[in-house]
Amino acid sequence: MPAVSKGDGMRGLAVFISDIRNCKSKEAEIKRINKELANIRSKFKGDKALDGYSKKKYVCKLLFIFLLGHDIDFGHMEAVNLLSSNKYTEKQIGYLFISVLVNSNSELIRLINNAIKNDLSSRNPTFMCLALHCIANVGSREMAEAFAGEIPRILVAGDTMDSVKQSAALCLLRLYKASPDLVLMGEWTSRVVHLLNDQHMGVVTAAISLITCLSSKNPDEFKTCVSLAVSRLSRIVSSASTDLQDYTYYFVPAPWLSCKLLRLLQCYPPPEDGAVKGRLVECLETILNKAQEPPKSKKVQHSNAKNAILFEAISLIIHYDSEPNLLVRACNQLGQFLQHRETNLRYLALESMCTLASSEFSHEAVKTHIETVINALKTERDVSVRQRAADLLYAMCDRSNAKQIVAEMLSYLETADYSIREEMVLKVAILAEKYAVDYSWYVDTILNLIRIAGDYVSEEVWYRVIQIVINRDDVQGYAAKTVFEALQAPACHENMVKVGGYILGEFGNLIAGDPRSSPLVQFNLLHSKFHLCSVPTRALLLSAYIKFINLFPETKATIQEVLRSDSQIRNSDVELQQRAVEYLKLSSIASTDVLATVLEEMPPFPERESSILAKLKKKKGPGAVSVELEDGKERGELNGGGDRGGDAAIAASNASTPSPSADLLGLRSAAPVSGAAPSAGSLLVDVFSEAGPAAASAGVNDDGFLRFVCKNNGVLFENQLLQIGIKSEYRQNLGRMYLFYGNKTSVQFVSFSTTVSCPGELQSQLNVQTKTVEPLVEGGAQVQQVINIECLTDFVDAPLLNIKFRYGGALQNISLKLPVTINKFFQPTEMAAADFFQRWKQLSQPQQEAQKIFKASHGMDTEVLKAKLLGLGTALLENVDPNPENYVCAGVIQTKAQQVGCLLRLEPNAQAQVRTRARAHTQMYMHTHTQMYMHIHTQSPSVLLCAALIASLTAVCVFLCAAANQAWRAGNTQLALFSLALFLSHSPPLSFTPFFHFLIHFSPHIDSTLSH
Amino acid sequence: MIGGLFIYNHKGEVLISRVYRDDIGRNAVDAFRVNVIHARQQVRSPVTNIARTSFFHVKRSNIWLAAVTKQNVNAAMVFEFLYKMCDVMASYFGKISEENIKNNFVLIYELLDEILDFGYPQNSETGALKTFITQQGIKGQFQTKEEQSQITSQVTGQIGWRREGIKYRRNELFLDVLESVNLLMSPQGQVLSAHVSGRVVMKSYLSGMPECKFGMNDKIVIDKAGKGGVTNEAGKSDLGGGGSTSGKQSIAIDDCTFNQCVRLSKFDSERSISFIPPDGDYELMRYRTTKDIILPFRVIPLVREVGRTKLEVKVVIKSNFKPSLLAQKIEVRIPTPLNTSGVQVICMKGKAKYKASENAIVWKIKRMAGMKESQISAEIELLPTNDKKKWARPPISMNFEVPFAPSGLKVRYLKVFESKLNYSDHDVVKWVRYIGRSGIYETRC
């Protein structure tokens, strides 16, 4: 680099800067700057040309003024002129100004690009470097467009200087990060990879950053780099500290390069080639060995460099997860760091150990450090380190040490920081549940938890304990006893009262034999807490009281007295008042056997993923999912991966919206939402993944698809950025679809484009024409697209809609199935019964019939089912089938090639398999007779649902009775009443008279429900 | 009430810090410095709320005075106090500068102890303060007991602003009507907004405890007098005609405030201003008018853009008052675009200069008689920029001083009654002076 010559001092600039520094006030500074700007303007305007030196000086001043925070709107031209100067300093200042103040002025950009091009093609390495730095600093798309082709050539050319190669590699990296689509390596790939063999360490260091970035995007192309990287690494690792001269940093050979090499290797699985692998393992061993050696220097830089390599090596070992020997050694190494003086090291050690704990090879090794970790949790000064220690304890916990760890965490909880308390509580709750060998221990732990950190115990935790107590007969008595004892403390947390109220309400009878916990004592104990509690808890306690009436008839008078008191029956809170009134009436009117049925013990809850686990996942964010994955595996859960876990978390959080009726099971959210529920376990997950916003933007998204089988208008897709509405109309074999793309953000979408494609043979079956949309969608605006569809012949698949746009520079790509299904081209046909059956019989060949038997799981009414069938496009034929429960439809599918007549029967069959929650398992037969194989979308969850509803109508009274009972006891009075009313209005023989009484006396609002 | 008072220099260093209440902590000092003095943005509200603490500040040259409170105080009261504080300090040691404050910090703490008590403003009358807070420290100790008790009885008495037994050989009164006229005018000469804020400042050297009565051409008083004087119907219709005897006879005062010595009850009932004056300098009243303002100058701008690189500006000013009167210190400030690279100015009268540091052409005229006009023309060369923003054309502003009151206020009388001493109204020498100055006097171009 040429030395700064003596004449380049720029005295004027120095004077100006010192003037500014000496200004006493902001006003004075502004005055001085205004004066200088006027001076520069007059100089630039002046007729006589400025020489390079003064031009440089003034541009410098402008730059300085700009950096002080003032706007500069001139001088760009002069700066560009400086670029073509032959003096290094002038060129440098020119580039500096351009990099700082570049704006997208088209003509200037052209000039700048020209100057850069000249410099790149010059043979002068300093000029080339300047130009490359400028490109990298600006890094705009225009720059990428202009130079993305040129730079790789410079990078791999044989005669390029090393320093230029370094700059070129980093410049290319920058351009690739800014606009990956423009930087195409293609032919250069192998030559870039071979830069790893370069003589010059600087070039290798620069190149490896580029290769790491490129290979993380397309690993296959750069596969060859693994062996090169390994050999390079082994050369560095095995070299003596003096071999690398300039690249030895405090006795550590090339630490940065080593770290980068190790990081690059983390992009790939372990090398398959045995020799390479052996060499790599050797390297890693050497690194681990070196960590054991006494330090060569006392300086902190030395140990920092050494530890950086070590940690990178350990994360590579963890990444490979295949070398038990190395894993254990890594673990031991980290164990040493656990007691290191340096806080950062302790933090890193704990963090790495967390991941080590999840590996089967090193889990045991990690467990040996349990004492140290517990100690860290207790004595560590830094809260973030304590947090890591808690994480690690959680990760290393298994059946053998669960009791110890849980006990330690509980005892720590009393002094824990507020910031991590809630998480700690969740962890304790999960561990206690997961590794509980004996459930009385579990109950003790959780009650302790509520006692110690009641405020941080979220709803999910106590829901869970109740679920478990109810599902396990063996602990119920113990739980009741423990709860009773816990409640005797003078100050109880409200969560404790909730648990107590619930459990005593259910199982108070199990401890009633003891005179110390006789029914009346239990009731008085609960009621003494009543006035200190919030409304939802009071509501729960009222439910517990009515259960007491059932359990212990002797308390009836006392409880009725309480319910009758003004503070209950005239409570200003509607929920409390309603409960008080209804319970009072129920207890005074219903006979004991009715009471016993209504207030029966809660049936076991369906097993499903612990909602607490979901909550913890949500709290920790997607990054923590890897740790939790193991849990998923262990429980054999349906929850197959990170994405679904996230959904579950959302589901759980939605389900736990605070509701006064203490919605234990997420009942409320589950019942009214239409959606298929193949298994109870994934109920929430599925419901919400359908109704919630579609998170994944990659891959074909058919969340919204099924909803449109029986529906023509609605919202097809929605995420944080975009909403797609759909409106469609069909006539004969023609259809027209209006798509509305709404930009939900305030930023415009650029290069917005949509394409509709028909995959495979659909191309010949469906003719789809689209009109192009505007490429620009303003923030908050909506654009419309019209799609014309012609059905040529029958089809199976649906066309794909692909949307591409840029939002804030990032390319968004969304693929959706367009809801075009064959039933859209149905033409309803009316026919008489005789006619129908004649045709039905005609179509008797096997290939003319498609039959689908499926289970339905939701209750619903006939009207909805009818609406669904009409939505399918067929005509619903009344009074055709001799069995009034069956549904019969007919229609003609219109295609260009032919018209297909189609008959359809839906035969709901209620084999009353009584389940809770007004959900019946019914079987349903459906025949569709067509001339050819047909896909009627009866898989659609909506139709499934319809079936469930019909089932609920035909089910026996007992079933509905239990359903109502269930819903009502869970606190959802409204739902219970509704299902009862539904039942009453639809099934004429009223066999269960007590219920009728109960309904009549219940509350006035039932009248309106009954009236229809 | 005021919780504390801080004085900072331009760098934000604390010169004076006096905390009156416990709710103001040390961090309040830093909060103001960080959020106001060192704030990045230019526009600074006089009232700033930081973390539920209110900061009221005024700036005198390079010095910041900030009053701090956590309560919901009357902001006008706080500012009134801050201005009063400035006046008091100025009367003790002249200009408020960092140096003066550092040299007099003991005095300032003494003053702060006296004029604020637990955050409540007390006596801030300079004359009274000077009797017991002196700068000649040692001399104060030689005050006799009588003198001390006299001071005590004065500052705790009914008339705290004047002591007994003042004696002058020559009884004199100086009365200044100081007005500043504010204007915003459209390029076509339409008045967009105009108001006059004025002060009546007095300097009295009177013996004894004189009772003064001040009269001016307040519209309400004149109307009342007219009504009282004439009883019949014809008299009422004559009222308008009566005003023509001396041009504009009465003015409508929008609002006014008085010195504490004025008897407000009397003003409320009779609208007469009567008072026992403090000795020496004081401000008798402040007022504001918005109707029938005499605008001393009219500015007629003419701006023409010639291509992208040149601007021609012509400005004519016309004086609009009696030819016998002379306006002084006239200064017209014509803003120039931000990309000015050169200016040529020609003016018939006075001196004009392009000041690059202020982005303006400043045209100064020493004196100008009434009913005259003068003109300046300038050619401004511009540097073409790649900035698409158009020049915002800030208004042309003007400064001047005229020897009359633009509001039209006239002093009708100032009577002095002293019953105990034997001098009468006629023996007092009275001087009256009117000065009209420009406030923000702007014309858009």
- Compute φ and ψ for A263, nearest 5 degrees: -70, -40
Q: Is the pLDDT of residue A802 over 80?
A: yes
| pLDDT value at residue A1004 | 37
| pLDDT value at residue B351 | 94
> Would an 8 Å CB–CB cutoff place A103 in contact with chain B?
yes
**A556-564 vs A574-589: helix axis angle to the nearest 10?**
140
Q: Is A60 annotated as a binding residue?
A: yes
Q: Is the pLDDT of residue A754 over 60?
A: yes
| pLDDT value at residue B206 | 92
Residue B388 C-alpha, separation from nearest chain A C-alpha, in angstroms: 9
Q: What is the CA radius of gyration of chain B?
A: 26
Classified as helix, coil or strand, A370 is: helix
CB-CB neighbours of A1012 under 10 Å = 6
> Burial, B420: exposed, middle or buried (Cβ in 10 Å; 0-12, 13-18, 19+)?
exposed
CA distance A460 to A447: 14
CA distance A686 to A644: 9
Averaged pLDDT for residues B133-160 = 72
CA distance A378 to A412: 7
- Compute φ and ψ for A814, nearest 5 degrees: -125, 130
What percent of chain A is predicted at pLDDT more than 90?
Answer: 8
Report the range of poorest mean pLDDT among A569-578, A607-616, B60-69. Answer: A607-616
Q: Is the pLDDT of residue A622 over 50?
A: no
CA distance A637 to A608: 8
Report the range of poorest mean pLDDT among A535-544, A830-839, A968-977, B112-121. Answer: A968-977
Classified as helix, coil or strand, B64 is: strand
- How does residue A519 score in pLDDT terms, banded at 50, 70 and 90? confident
What is the CATH number assigned to the segment(s) B297-402?
2.60.40.1170
> Would an 8 Å CB–CB cutoff place A74 in contact with chain B?
yes
pLDDT in tens, A285-305: 988 888 888 888 888 898 899
Amino acid in position A174: R
Averaged pLDDT for residues A104-114 = 79
Classified as helix, coil or strand, B58 is: strand
Which CATH code of 3.40.1280.10, 3.60.150.10, 3.50.50.60, 3.30.450.60 fits the domain covering B4-132?
3.30.450.60
Q: How many residues does chain B have?
A: 445
pLDDT in tens, B54-107: 999 999 888 999 999 999 999 999 999 999 999 999 989 989 999 999 999 899
- How does residue A237 score in pLDDT terms, banded at 50, 70 and 90? confident
Q: Is the pLDDT of residue A107 over 70?
A: yes
* Chain A interface mutation, best of B341, B379, B390, highest count of A Cβ atoms under 10 Å: B341
Q: Is the pLDDT of residue A505 over 80?
A: yes
Q: Is A165 annotated as a binding residue?
A: no
pTM for this model (two decimals): 0.57
* Chain A interface mutation, best of B13, B40, B357, B391, highest count of A Cβ atoms under 10 Å: B357
Averaged pLDDT for residues B210-222 = 88
Q: CATH topology of B172-225+249-293+405-443 equal to that of B297-402?
A: yes
pLDDT in tens, A158-216: 788 888 999 999 999 999 888 888 887 777 888 888 888 888 888 999 999 999 998 88
CB contact under 8 A, B359 and A35: no
Mean pLDDT, chain A, whole residue set? 74
- How does residue A929 score in pLDDT terms, banded at 50, 70 and 90? very low
Which residues lie below 8 Å from residue B397, measured CB to CB, with a gap of 6+? B332, B333, B440, B441, B442, B443
> Which of B62, B383, B386 is facing A25, going by the closest CB pair?
B62
Residue B41 C-alpha, separation from nearest chain A C-alpha, in angstroms: 11
Q: Is the pLDDT of residue A279 over 80?
A: yes
Residue A62 C-alpha, separation from nearest chain B C-alpha, in angstroms: 13
* Chain B interface mutation, best of A25, A45, A58, A71, highest count of B Cβ atoms under 10 Å: A45
| pLDDT value at residue A7 | 55
> Would an 8 Å CB–CB cutoff place A45 in contact with chain B?
yes
Which residues lie below 8 Å from residue A917, measured CB to CB, with a gap of 6+? A667, A670, A671, A963, A966, A967
| pLDDT value at residue B141 | 55
Highest mean pLDDT among A216-220, A615-619, A897-901, B331-335: B331-335
Highest mean pLDDT among A88-102, A187-201, A227-241: A88-102
Q: Is the pLDDT of residue A692 over 90?
A: no
Averaged pLDDT for residues B123-135 = 82
> Which of B42, B342, B389 is facing A42, going by the closest CB pair?
B342
Higher pLDDT: B180 or A845? It is: B180
- How does residue B414 score in pLDDT terms, banded at 50, 70 and 90? very high
pLDDT in tens, B284-320: 999 999 988 999 999 999 999 888 888 999 999 999 9
Classified as helix, coil or strand, B297 is: strand
Reported as type and span, the H/E element at residue A804 is strand A800-807
Closest-approach residue (CA) in chain B for A41: B341
Averaged pLDDT for residues A421-426 = 81
Which CATH code of 2.60.40.1170, 3.40.50.2300, 3.40.50.360, 3.40.47.10 fits the domain covering B172-225+249-293+405-443?
2.60.40.1170
CB contact under 8 A, B383 and A44: yes
Q: Is A100 annotated as a binding residue?
A: no
Residue B416 C-alpha, separation from nearest chain A C-alpha, in angstroms: 49
| pLDDT value at residue A388 | 85
Complex confidence, ipTM = 0.73
CB contact under 8 A, B341 and A103: no
Higher pLDDT: A304 or A748? It is: A304
> Which of B10, B357, B381 is facing A34, going by the closest CB pair?
B357
CB contact under 8 A, A25 and B385: no
Burial A78-110 (b: 16+ CB within 10 A, else e): bbbbbbebeebbbbbbbbbbbbebbeeeeebbe
CB contact under 8 A, B339 and A35: no
Report the range of poorest mean pLDDT among A144-148, A627-631, A968-972, B29-33. Answer: A627-631
> Would an 8 Å CB–CB cutoff place A41 in contact with chain B?
yes
**A201-217 vs A162-178: helix axis angle to the nearest 10?**
20
- How does residue A751 score in pLDDT terms, banded at 50, 70 and 90? confident
Residues of B in contact with A42 (CB under 8 A): 341-342
Residue A73 C-alpha, separation from nearest chain B C-alpha, in angstroms: 6
* Chain B interface mutation, best of A22, A41, A97, highest count of B Cβ atoms under 10 Å: A41
CB contact under 8 A, A103 and B386: yes
Classified as helix, coil or strand, B359 is: coil
Classified as helix, coil or strand, A533 is: coil
* Beta-carbon pairs below 8 A across chains A and B: 52
| pLDDT value at residue B224 | 78
Residues of A in contact with B358 (CB under 8 A): 31, 34
Residue A108 C-alpha, separation from nearest chain B C-alpha, in angstroms: 10
Q: Is the pLDDT of residue B198 over 90?
A: yes
* Tokens coding B194: 């105009």
- How does residue B248 score in pLDDT terms, banded at 50, 70 and 90? low
Residue A27 C-alpha, separation from nearest chain B C-alpha, in angstroms: 10
Higher pLDDT: A661 or A466? It is: A466
CB contact under 8 A, B340 and A103: no
CA distance B426 to A652: 95
Counting Cα atoms < 13 Å in the Cβ hemisphere of B175 gives: 21
Closest-approach residue (CA) in chain B for A76: B386
Averaged pLDDT for residues B213-235 = 69
Q: Are B417 and B211 in contact (CB under 8 A)?
A: yes
Closest-approach residue (CA) in chain A for B62: A25
Counting Cα atoms < 13 Å in the Cβ hemisphere of A380 gives: 28
CA distance B182 to B193: 8
Q: Is A59 annotated as a binding residue?
A: yes
Closest-approach residue (CA) in chain B for A107: B386
> Would an 8 Å CB–CB cutoff place A1012 in contact with chain B?
no
CB contact under 8 A, A32 and B359: no
- How does residue A766 score in pLDDT terms, banded at 50, 70 and 90? confident
| pLDDT value at residue A625 | 36
- How does residue A634 score in pLDDT terms, banded at 50, 70 and 90? very low
Structural domain boundaries in chain B: 4-132, 172-225+249-293+405-443, 297-402
> Which of B356, B383, B386 is facing A34, going by the closest CB pair?
B356
pLDDT in tens, A813-840: 888 888 888 778 877 777 777 777 777 7
Nearest to B378 by CA among B435, B324, B334, B436: B334
- How does residue A861 score in pLDDT terms, banded at 50, 70 and 90? low
> Which of A24, A32, A74 is facing B385, going by the closest CB pair?
A74
- How does residue A551 score in pLDDT terms, banded at 50, 70 and 90? confident
> Which of B62, B357, B383 is facing A24, going by the closest CB pair?
B62
- How does residue A909 score in pLDDT terms, banded at 50, 70 and 90? low
Report the range of poorest mean pLDDT among A3-12, B200-209, B267-276, B405-414. Answer: A3-12
Residues of A in contact with B357 (CB under 8 A): 31-32, 34-35, 38
Q: Is the pLDDT of residue B183 over 90?
A: yes
| pLDDT value at residue B4 | 94
- How does residue B277 score in pLDDT terms, banded at 50, 70 and 90? very high
- How does residue A657 score in pLDDT terms, banded at 50, 70 and 90? very low
| pLDDT value at residue B143 | 65
Q: Is B366 annotated as a binding residue?
A: yes
